[in-house]
Each structure stands twice: as structure tokens, then as C-alpha cells.
Amino acid sequence: MCDYYFDGKGKAFRPMIVVLMARACNIHHNNSREVQASQRSVAIIAEMIHTASLVHDDVIDDANSRRGKMTVNQIWGERKAVLAGDFILSAASVALARIGNTTIISVLSQVIEDLVRGEFLQLGSKENENERFAHYLEKTFKKTASLIANSCKAVSILGCPDPEVHEIAYQYGKNVGIAFQLIDDVLDFTSCADQLGKPAAADLKLGLATGPVLFACQQFPEMNAMIMRRFSLPGDVERAQQYVLQSDGVQQTTYLAQRYCHEAMKEISKLRPSPERDALIQLTETVLTRDK
Ligand SMILES: *[C@@H]1O[C@H](CO)[C@@H](O)[C@H](O)[C@H]1NC(C)=O
Ligand SMILES: *[C@@H]1O[C@H](CO)[C@@H](O)[C@H](O)[C@H]1NC(C)=O
């Protein structure tokens, strides 16, 4: 069960960013692009924490497909899926302890707290429209960006003693992470199930109002009632989908993602030039143009 998603078919987006960040920071500090064993461990741990959270999310959402495969809960049942997620997280904790640095332990433990708090935020909703957007961005940071931000910070701490570099790494990861999720939320409306490896409009079906819906609601206030009842009446999902596609919710969410990517680029550009730094700059572009 625990091996199931480690089949080499994921995007490995997180380990890739973390290893590039490790190299970029090492070069910035002492001109060695050598990735230290502890930095490589952080990349592995980041993917493990991410995978454990997917296994648990699929139980919470009662999802039956992911990355074009059946989910763990679908095959083995919910109870075993919860335990499998716990087991992956425990293996990640053992690997984290083995690095033997209390600073790194506390940076990466924060991620686990944020993931749980983010999931709770997603279960709640806000009545007030302004509060709703802030709530959505906070949820997005905690559920997606915190892992990338803090893993980037961890490898920067291991590679370079300068606190300014740690802040650059953190800000880069945070901004790329939020942009990544905003585009994910756009793809839920614009991409078909085949491309995504999971059903389309999945968020609406779960009762979730993401960026495109929140922007569309500014143009079509009649969506408010639907958001408040979490798209639970027959036809709500389809009608909300129509509203979003008639509005410029998709464009506005994409534009917001562009602004986060621009901020990430601004931060990482402060590091000494290297192929790895430039790859991280390029990556902000790929986040915006991906279609799955
Ligand atoms: C953690 O690693 C960093 C970078 O090598 C080092 O500066 C720091 O002293 C270490 N902290 C502990 C508590 O071992
Ligand atoms: C500095 O460079 C050496 C190789 O020249 C490498 O072994 C060492 O890990 C580097 N130190 C840091 C903190 O990146």
C-alpha cells in the first residue's frame, strides 16, 4: 500500500525544486554544486510527506482515482488507507530524525501541522466575501505552499549559513507553491478528466469554492447562495461550472498565479547566477503553462 504511489510516474515536482534549490544555495555559498546527503534526504522526505497527505486526502474526499490509478482507499478500504498514510508519515519522521539536526526537524515538522490546519480550513467556509478569499489563500498556503517553502528553507539552511538566503529560499517556495495550486484550481475547470488522471470539476463536487469560483462570484452574485450550500442541490455543480466559464474567473486566477510566479522569480534572482538558479527561474514559467 505504501509503495503504491512511489511508482516513478508522479511529476516529482517537489523533489526537483528542492534539489535545484539545494544546488543553487550551495553554489551561492561556496561554489560547490554537490548535493549533500542531508539535502537529498530533505527532497525525499518532502515527497513522502506529500504522498502521505494525498493518501489521507483521498480518504477525506472519498476519491476513487488519482494519477490515472485507483486510490489506496478504493482498493484496500478506508481503514487501511488511513494507516498507510500514517506509516508513510512515520517513515518520513524517522528519515527526518536521522538527519540529526534539530533546526531541520522543526522546519519540516511545521509542514505537517500546516497540512492538518489547511485541511481543517478547507472543511470550513466563510460567509463574508472578502474573508472568503483570504481564507482560500491561507488554506492554499497551508495545504500546498508550506511544504515547498519549508523544504526549500531546510536545504538552504544545510547549504548556506546566511539567513537572507534562507528567507529567499522560503519566499521562492511559498510563491511558487501558491501559484502551482492556483493553476491546479484553474485546471479543475479547463482540463478534462483524461489529462488530469482524476475527475474534472472535482472541487465543486466536493463543495469547494476555489479561485475561479470566488472571482466568478464577484460578477455573478447569485453564486453566493450556491457557495454557501457547498453546491449541494441538484444542478448546482453544472450551473456553477457554467458561471465560471462565462466569467473571467479563470483568467483572473491565472493572472494572480502570474503575480506569485513573478514574486518567486524576483526572490530567486537574488542568488548568485548558476544553471540551477536559472532552472528555478524557468520553472516559474512551467508552473503557469502546464496542462496537467
Ligand atoms: C544544523 O545544520 C546547520 C547547517 O549545517 C548548522 O549550522 C546548525 O548548527 C545545525 N544545527 C544543529 C542543532 O545541529
Ligand atoms: C562546500 O564545498 C565542498 C566541496 O568543495 C563540499 O564538500 C561542501 O559540502 C560544501 N559546503 C556547503 C556548506 O555546501
The preferred substitution site among 26, 38, 104, 274 for testing ligand 2, maximizing ligand atoms within 8 Å of CB, is 26
Q: What is the mean pLDDT of residues 155-163?
A: 98
Query: Atom of ligand 1 at shortest distance to CA of 161?
Result: 7
Query: Atom of ligand 2 at shortest distance to CA of 26?
Result: 14
Q: Which residues line ligand 1 (CB under 6 A)?
A: 101-103, 157-158, 161
Domain boundaries along the sequence of the chain: 2-289
Q: What pLDDT is stored for residue 193 in this prediction?
A: 60
Q: What pLDDT is stored for residue 283 in this prediction?
A: 96
Instruction: Tell how strand 69-70 and strand 65-66 pair up.
Output: antiparallel
pLDDT band at 128; cut points 50, 70, 90: confident
Of 95, 91, 105, the closest CA to residue 41 belongs to 95
Q: Which residues line ligand 2 (CB under 6 A)?
A: 26, 29-30, 32, 34, 36, 159
Tell me the ligand closest to 23's alpha carbon.
2
Cβ 51 vs Cβ 30: under 8 Å: no
Tell how far CA 185 is from the center of its chain: 11
Q: Report pLDDT digits (tens) over 51-110.
A: 999 999 999 999 999 988 999 999 999 999 999 999 999 999 999 999 999 999 999 999
pLDDT band at 191; cut points 50, 70, 90: confident
- Cα 41–272–38 angle (5° rounding)? 10
Q: What pLDDT is stored for residue 34 in this prediction?
A: 95
Q: What is the mean pLDDT of residues 233-260?
A: 95
Element (H, E) at 65: strand 65-66
On whether the pTM is more than 0.85, the answer is yes
Query: Atom of ligand 2 at shortest distance to CA of 29?
Result: 14
- Rounded to the nearest angstrom, the distance between the alpha carbon of 156 and the centre of ligand 1 is 11
Tell me the ligand closest to 30's alpha carbon.
2
Q: What pLDDT is stored for residue 290 in this prediction?
A: 85
Tell me the ligand closest to 33's alpha carbon.
2
- Rounded to the nearest angstrom, the distance between the alpha carbon of 142 and the centre of ligand 1 is 26
CA atoms 203, 206, 211, 213: torsion sign: positive
Query: Atom of ligand 1 at shortest distance to CA of 104?
Result: 1
Tell me the ligand closest to 153's alpha carbon.
1
Could you say which DSSP state residue 69 is in? E
- Rounded to the nearest angstrom, the distance between the alpha carbon of 161 and the centre of ligand 1 is 9
Q: What is the mean pLDDT of residues 205-224?
A: 95
The preferred substitution site among 19, 32, 35, 42 for testing ligand 2, maximizing ligand atoms within 8 Å of CB, is 32
- Rounded to the nearest angstrom, the distance between the alpha carbon of 104 and the centre of ligand 1 is 8
Q: Cβ contacts of residue 50 below 8 Å, gap of 6+?
A: 14, 147
Superfamily for domain range 2-289: Farnesyl Diphosphate Synthase (1.10.600.10)
- Cα 177–109–143 angle (5° rounding)? 30
